[in-house]
């Protein structure tokens, strides 16, 4: 890439707080946002959920508003907004689940065109990749990328029907993992051709790849994830030996984490320190890529590796270097990956400048 | 950029490059009828949602127009969009737990719009890039820009789709195959707006 693309975090709202400082504190102390929740599942069953308890109604719209209210930045130049969300506001069914998204963003950024990406759990990573494309083609000078999904009966019942939920807080990559835990949140980053402050990181490249295998199950061979990582290396001019930390997807389902371990093994990344943040946030679907990118940037700023909550014993056929305790490490280059329903896989690389 | 071929699937019938291929107007189940007339053996078709079924039929018809020599496995990108996301299936899934008291996993897996592109990738062994956008209306300018970005990153071909199933029953799937050429994005925009108007009889 001939031009520089910078990523800055602007806002982060989850059960762990509504400031980046609160999240840093939670990650340093290994505090999870997941709580056992009564009557959350089908027929009143209890479920562990990472739910922002401050919000009591209209969860999606209120999460979006709270995150936007925390953006304190004056935007100049050609600006667009990209929203990454799998489901939008499900309270609006049987009507248009994305109509409130447009209306709320227009209140905050009346001039900016709004583009919505809904590509399952890889939406957040491809939203950042798409924002970078807009900058590289000179279509826009900057793009606000918003990742959001709210906890809902709809999604909880659906994951229950697939037997994909854990009975206790999820345990990414652990031997005893047995499903994911759902969560909610909204994160906002600014992807810009200008560096606005010292904590911006450089976007080096990204890509996506489909498994071409199954609509709801991950590939046994990690094929799509391998191809995406290799394409991202090629586009960014980097390779496995450059990567200091991986923010993996790690949903804590048996098959997903196994697939990721195989893919990281095939790409010579199995010894790189790695975490899944699902133990903090739960699986926030369309928000996940953005929330996890924000905390990866915080990792880089602080030169800290955050522990993978829920992991105690290797449980994948290719052993990975799972981060188990808070550790200091100079972090220059970070790989973020995501995988999801529809066979999608995506990745991107962030780097400190200089 | 150049439009190599295009197809249109709706309950009335199926067209390829502007010409009628199957007339399904009188059929009780137009998509099933179109699938049978297609003469392709792919039993998975029957379990697909309406979005995937339409895109499946439209794509099969476009296959002869994919340029020989292109590495379709890696260099074909899929860019799809609609307004209503997967709401057609979303509402069926809500019915499964509210009315039938039995949340259906086979419906739930189709409550994401990008399952459409997933199904096409499985069918044709395409491992390239995919993205599904939610747009207020068919926007040719955006498709041209997204496809151009893909070409500048090394993708050789782009299968684009507008695949919509509204809760009011309106259904359509407009597919078009784009390849890089010297035609400008603006020319493509005009061509695409004309084509969709013709297909919709506007």
**Interchain proximity A97–B87, CB inside 8 Å:** yes
Mean pLDDT of chain A: 97
The answer to whether the CB atoms of A162 and B109 lie below 8 A apart is yes
Q: Compute the distance between CA of residue A267 and CA of residue A274 in angstroms, rounded to an integer.
A: 14
Interval A42-61 mean pLDDT: 97
Q: Is the entire prediction scored with pTM above 0.95?
A: yes
Q: Helices (DSSP H) in chain B: which residue ranges?
A: 30-38, 50-62, 72-75, 87-98, 105-108, 115-124, 140-152, 185-200
Instruction: Give the pLDDT confidence score for residue B146 in this predicted structure.
Output: 96
For residue A121, give the DSSP letter. B
User: How much of chain A, in percent, has pLDDT values that exceed 70?
Assistant: 99
> What 8-state DSSP symbol labels residue A90?
G
Residue A108 pLDDT greater than 80, yes or no: yes
Per the CB < 8 Å rule, is B117 touching A342?
yes
User: What residues does A147 pair with on adjacent strands?
Assistant: A84, A187
End-to-end CA distance of chain A: 16
Contact A117 B103 (CB under 8 A): no
Domain coordinates in residue numbering, chain A: 1-354
> Nearest CA of chain A to the CA of B19: how many Å?
31
Task: Indicate the residue of B91, B112, B127 with minimum beta-carbon distance to A210.
Answer: B127
Predicted confidence at residue A1, as pLDDT, reads 59
Label residue A341 by pLDDT band (50, 70, 90): very high
- Percent of chain A scored above 90 by pLDDT? 97
Interface test with B, best of A122, A146, A161 (most B CBs within 10 A): A161
Q: What is the DSSP string of A182-247?
A: EE-EEEEEEEESS--STT-EEEEEEEEEE-SS-SSS--SS-HHHHHHHHHHHHHHT--GGG-SEEE
- Tokens 């970070």, located at residue: A334
Q: Do residues A189 and A11 touch, judged by C-beta distance below 8 A?
A: no
Average pLDDT over residues A2-12: 94
Give pLDDT tens digits for B10-68: 999 999 999 999 999 999 999 999 999 999 999 999 999 999 999 999 999 999 999 99
pLDDT mean values, one per 10 residues, chain B (202 residues)? 97 97 95 97 98 98 97 98 98 98 98 98 98 97 96 97 95 98 91 97 84
Find the radius of gyration of the CA atoms of chain B: 17
Residues on chain A touching B118 (C-beta within 8 angstroms): 210, 215, 341-344
Q: Which residue among A94, A95, A119 sits closest to B131, beta carbon to beta carbon?
A: A119
What is the per-residue pLDDT for A354? 75
Check the CA dihedral B65-B70-B74-B80 and report its sign: negative
Which letter, b or e, does each residue of A13-31 get, where b requires 16 or more Cβ atoms within 10 Å of its Cβ? bbbbbbebeebbebbeeee
Q: Is the pLDDT of residue A48 over 90?
A: yes
pLDDT at A23: 98
What tokens appear for A188 in the block? 């906002």
CB nearest B115 (choices: A87, A162, A215): A215
pLDDT beyond 90 at A277:
yes
For A1-354, the fitting CATH number among 3.40.47.10, 3.30.360.10, 3.40.1190.20, 1.20.272.10 is: 3.40.47.10
Are B145 and A160 within 8 A, CB to CB? no
Please check the confidence at residue A308 and state whether its pLDDT lies above 90. Answer: yes
Contact list in B for residue A139 (CB cut-off 8 A) is 145
Inform me whether the pLDDT recorded for A13 exceeds 70: yes
Distance from CA of A160 to the nearest CA of B (A): 8
**Rounded CA gap, A280 and A12, in Å?**
13
Q: Report which DSSP code applies to A307.
A: P
Mean pLDDT, to the nearest integer, of A296-303? Answer: 98
- Give contacts of A235 with chain B, Cβ < 8 Å: 153-154
Q: Is the pLDDT assigned to residue A67 strictly greater than 90?
A: yes
Q: Is B102 helix (H, G, I), strand (E, B) or coil?
A: coil
Put simply, the answer to whether A116 touches B142 (Cβ < 8 Å) is: no
User: Mind giving me the DSSP string for A31-76?
Assistant: ----EEETT-SGGG--EEEE--TT--SSHHHHHHHHHHHT------
Q: Give ipTM to 2 decimals.
A: 0.97
CB B132 within 8 A of CB B80: yes
Cβ atoms of B127 and B121 closer than 8 Å: yes
- Cβ <8 Å between A98 and B85: yes
Residues A271-279, mean pLDDT to the nearest whole number: 98
Token pair of A55 as six digits: 């919000």
Query: Phi/psi of residue A9, each to 5°?
Result: -85, 145
Residue A215, token pair as written in the block: 């609509």
């Amino acid at each position: 890439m001939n031009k520089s693309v910078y990523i800055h975090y602007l806002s982060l709202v989850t059960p762990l707080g509504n400031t980046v400082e609160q999240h840093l504190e939670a990650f340093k102390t290994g505090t999870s946002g997941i709580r056992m929740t009564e009557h959350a599942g089908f027929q009143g069953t209890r479920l562990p959920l990472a739910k922002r308890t401050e919000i009591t109604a209209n969860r999606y719209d209120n999460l979006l508003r709270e995150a936007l209210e925390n953006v304190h930045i004056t935007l100049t130049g050609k600006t667009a907004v990209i929203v990454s969300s799998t489901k939008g506001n499900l309270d609006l069914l049987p009507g248009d689940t994305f109509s409130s998204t447009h209306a709320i963003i227009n209140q905050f950024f009346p001039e900016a065109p709004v583009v919505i990406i809904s590509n399952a759990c890889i939406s957040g990573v491809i939203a950042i990749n798409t924002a970078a494309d807009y900058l590289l083609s000179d279509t826009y000078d900057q793009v606000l990328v918003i990742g959001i999904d709210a906890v809902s009966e709809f999604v909880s019942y659906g994951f229950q029907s697939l037997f994909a939920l854990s009975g206790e807080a999820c345990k990414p990559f652990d031997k005893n993992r047995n499903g994911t835990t759902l969560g909610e949140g909204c994160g906002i980053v600014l992807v810009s051709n200008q560096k606005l402050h010292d904590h911006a990181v450089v976007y080096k490249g990204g890509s996506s790849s489909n498994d071409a295998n199954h609509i709801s199950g991950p590939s046994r061979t990690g094929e799509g994830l391998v191809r995406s990582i290799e394409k991202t290396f090629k586009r960014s001019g980097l390779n496995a030996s450059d990567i200091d930390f991986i923010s993996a997807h790690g949903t804590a389902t048996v098959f997903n984490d196994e697939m990721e371990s195989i893919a990281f093994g095939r790409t010579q990344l199995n010894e790189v320190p790695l975490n899944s943040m699902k133990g903090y946030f739960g699986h926030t679907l369309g928000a996940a890529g953005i929330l996890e990118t924000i905390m990866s940037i915080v990792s880089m700023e602080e030169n800290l590796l955050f522990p993978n909550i829920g992991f105690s014993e290797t449980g994948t056929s290719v052993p990975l270097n799972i981060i188990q305790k808070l550790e200091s490490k100079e972090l220059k280059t970070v790989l973020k990956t995501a995988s999801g329903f529809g066979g999608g896989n995506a990745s991107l690389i962030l780097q400190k400048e200089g | 950029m150049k439009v190599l071929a295009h197809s249109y699937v709706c309950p009335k019938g199926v067209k390829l490059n502007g010409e009628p291929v199957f007339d399904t107007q009188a059929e009780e189940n137009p998509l099933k009828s179109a699938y049978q007339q297609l003469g392709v053996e792919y039993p998975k078709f029957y379990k697909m949602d309406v979005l995937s079924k339409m895109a499946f039929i439209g794509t099969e018809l476009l296959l002869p127009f994919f340029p020989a020599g292109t590495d379709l496995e890696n260099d074909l990108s899929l860019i799809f969009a609609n307004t209503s996301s997967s709401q057609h299936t979303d509402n069926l899934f809500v019915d499964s737990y509210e009315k039938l008291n039995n949340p259906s996993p086979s419906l739930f897996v189709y409550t994401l719009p990008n399952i459409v592109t997933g199904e096409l990738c499985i069918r044709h062994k395409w491992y390239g890039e995919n993205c599904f956008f939610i747009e207020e209306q068919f926007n040719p300018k955006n498709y041209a820009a997204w496809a151009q970005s893909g070409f500048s990153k090394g993708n050789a071909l782009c299968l684009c789709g507008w695949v919509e199933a509204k809760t009011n029953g309106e259904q359509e799937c407009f597919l078009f195959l784009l390849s890089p050429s010297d035609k400008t994005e603006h020319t493509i925009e005009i061509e695409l707006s004309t084509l969709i108007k013709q297909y919709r009889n506007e």
